């Protein structure tokens, strides 16, 4: 009886450790404990609101990027696309006089078109998504700068506050919720919603099974009838939708956008997903883990500020976290493969 109970506990521990988000959860607890002890502002209500806000927009993108990585692909254009969608909305609303609510669907269609193009090119050409989306990244970067300068004469678009529909759209995407006298950005709720939806889709639906299948082996998935093209195009459009949501949040929050905004953020999305348990080789990962990876980003970035450290230390922290995450994730995957029936 005692041996059976021990075996049951061991099996339960194996299943727990095999979860991809376990490493990120431990990392988040360590970062939280460290800055809670070493700084006074970290646990204040205003401090919590600040690092949750920092993590929220990063987390929305990290969750979508995690799904794409589980499906075996990368999207290096995701960061620039957040600026592209914001620029489309801002130019239509401020330069052409459109209502904000009319401009938002147009920028959404633009984002989804980029996502479909990325997915179609990756599957049909067989080229690595790294190369395809690097091309999209450069094209969008040039488009952002060229069109913005052509339309406004500068590299920024401002004046969103005077656009029709700005107030109501801002209420939905960029307002704050008062909690105990402290303003928490509504983007935190969007982040939690995105994580919940992505987790349900990935773990409880047939589409989620197809994502794991194409990420593990696209050829094997195709052989058993999984629609690889549709699955991967859907994943790229999901990333594009998240970029539109983040771009919309930013343009309404700051009432304007810079043409070079978003460059370099794509690597932060990927790093957050890797810290959250996603393997670079695909077929393994978690939406909750990616959200925790973004939370670690937010806590570390603001914790370093509260500790009055030089912000350059954040890059060191980031590199160490990435290396640790890759090593831990590989170890967890090997353990998961051993206990898999």
On whether residue 234 sits in a domain, the answer given is yes
Q: Which residue has the tokens 């727990």?
A: 16
Residues of 176-204 as b/e, b for ≥16 C-beta within 10 angstroms? beeeeeeebbbbbebbeebbeebbebbee
Q: What is the pLDDT of residue 30?
A: 86
340 found inside a domain: no
Domain around 282: 29-34+41-332
Tokens for 274, please give them.
């890797």
pLDDT > 80? residue 51: yes
- Is residue 4 in some structural domain? no
At 340 the pLDDT is 54
Q: What's the confidence (pLDDT) of residue 275?
A: 86
| HEC profile of the chain | CHHHHHHHHHHHHHHHHCCCCHHHHHHHHHHHHHHHHHCCCCCCHHHHHHHHHHHHHHHHHHHHHHHHHHCCCCCCCHHHHHHHHHHHHHHHHHHCCCCHHHHHHHHHHHHHHHHHHHHHHHHHHCCCHHHHHHHHHHHHHHHHHHHHHHHHCCCEEECHHHCCCHHHHHHHHHCEEEECCEEEECHHHHHHHHHHHHHHHHHHCHHHHHHHHHHHCHHHHHHCCCCHHHHHHHHHHHHHHHHHHHHHHHHHHHCEEECCCCCCHHHHHHHHHHHCCCCCCCCCCCHHHHHHHHHHHHHHHHHHHHCCCCCHHHHHHHHHHHHHHHHHHHHHHHHHHHHCC
- Amino acid 300: pLDDT: 87
Task: Return the higher-pLDDT residue of 259 and 6.
Answer: 259
| Arithmetic mean of pLDDT, 170-193 | 93
Per the prediction, the chain carries an average pLDDT of 89
| 2-16, 75-89, 92-106, 134-148: least confident range | 2-16
**Residue 220: inside a domain, yes or no?**
yes
* Segment among 27-36, 83-92, 119-128 with least mean pLDDT: 27-36
Alpha carbon distance 72, 280 (integer Å)? 8
Q: How many CB atoms lie within 10 A of CB 284?
A: 22
The dihedral region occupied by 183, where left means phi > 0, alpha psi between -120 and 50, and beta the remainder, is: beta
Average pLDDT of the residues in 63-72: 95
- Per residue in 103-139, pLDDT (tens digit) is 999 999 999 999 999 999 999 999 999 999 999 999 9
Has residue 284 been placed in a domain?
yes
| CA geometry: angle 55, 58, 61, nearest 5 deg | 140
Q: What are phi and psi of 205, to 5 degrees?
A: -130, 160
pLDDT value of position 9: 62
pLDDT tens-digit series, residues 197-223: 999 999 999 999 999 999 988 889 999
Rank 241-250, 257-266, 304-313 by mean pLDDT and report only the highest. Answer: 241-250
pLDDT band at 8 (very low <50, low <70, confident <90, very high): low
pLDDT at 259 over 70: yes
Residue 82 has pLDDT above 60, yes or no: yes
pLDDT for 17: 63
**What is the percentage of the chain residues whose pLDDT exceeds 90?**
63
Average pLDDT over every residue of 33-60: 93
Hey, what are 293's tokens?
Answer: 């990876």
In a domain, 262, yes or no: yes
Helices 206-216 and 228-254, axial angle in degrees (round to 10):
110
Position 277 pLDDT exceeds 70: yes
287: buried, middle or exposed (CB in 10 Å: 19+, 13-18, 0-12)? buried
Q: What is the pLDDT of residue 297?
A: 87
Mean pLDDT over residues 274-302, rounded?
89
Residue 337: pLDDT band with limits 50, 70, 90: low
Predicted local distance difference test score (pLDDT) of residue 304: 86
Could you give the count of Cα atoms lying within 13 Å of 22 in the half-sphere of its Cβ?
17
What is the tally of structural domains in the chain? 1
Task: Specify if 7 maps to a domain.
Answer: no
| Beta-bridge partners for 178 | 183
| CATH code at position 221 | 1.10.3470
Residues 224-236 have pLDDT tens digits of 889 999 999 999 9
What pLDDT, on a 0 to 100 scale, did the predictor assign at position 12? 64
In-domain check, residue 339:
no
82-86, 246-250, 284-288, 331-335: segment of lowest average pLDDT? 331-335
Closest CA to 292 of 119, 36, 35, 62: 62
Question: Among 84-98, 235-249, 316-330, whose mean pLDDT is lowest?
Answer: 316-330
């Amino acid at each position: 009886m005692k041996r059976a109970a021990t075996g049951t506990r061991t099996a339960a521990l194996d299943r727990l450790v095999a979860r991809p988000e376990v490493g990120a959860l431990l990392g988040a607890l360590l970062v939280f404990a460290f800055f809670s002890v070493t700084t006074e502002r970290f646990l204040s209500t205003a401090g919590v609101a600040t690092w949750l806000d920092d993590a929220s927009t990063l987390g929305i993108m990290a969750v979508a990027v995690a799904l794409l990585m589980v499906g075996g692909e990368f999207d290096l254009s995701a960061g620039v696309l957040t600026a592209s969608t914001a620029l489309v909305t801002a130019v239509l609303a401020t330069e052409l006089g459109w209502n904000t609510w009319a401009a938002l669907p147009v920028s959404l269609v633009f984002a989804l078109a980029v996502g479909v193009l990325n997915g179609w090119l990756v599957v049909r050409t067989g080229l690595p998504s790294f190369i395809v989306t690097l091309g999209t990244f450069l094209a969008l970067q040039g488009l952002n700068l060229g069109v913005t300068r052509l339309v406004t004469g500068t590299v920024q678009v401002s004046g969103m506050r005077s656009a029709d529909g700005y107030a109501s759209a801002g209420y939905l995407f960029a307002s704050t919720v008062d909690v105990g006298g402290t303003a928490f950005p509504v983007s935190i709720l969007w982040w939690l919603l995105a994580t919940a939806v992505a987790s349900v889709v990935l773990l409880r639906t047939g589409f989620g099974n197809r994502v794991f299948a194409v990420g593990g082996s696209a050829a094997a998935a195709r052989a058993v009838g999984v629609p690889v093209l549709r699955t991967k195009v859907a994943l790229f459009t999901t990333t594009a939708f998240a970029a539109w949501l983040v771009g919309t949040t930013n343009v309404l929050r700051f009432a304007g956008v810079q043409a070079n905004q978003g460059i370099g953020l794509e690597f932060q999305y990927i790093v957050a997903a890797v810290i959250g348990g996603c393997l670079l080789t695909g077929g393994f990962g978690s939406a909750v883990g990616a959200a925790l990876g973004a939370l670690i980003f937010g806590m570390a970035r603001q914790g370093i500020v509260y500790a009055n450290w030089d912000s350059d230390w954040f890059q060191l922290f980031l590199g160490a976290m990435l290396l640790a995450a890759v090593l831990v994730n590989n170890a967890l995957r090997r353990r998961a493969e051993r206990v898999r029936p």
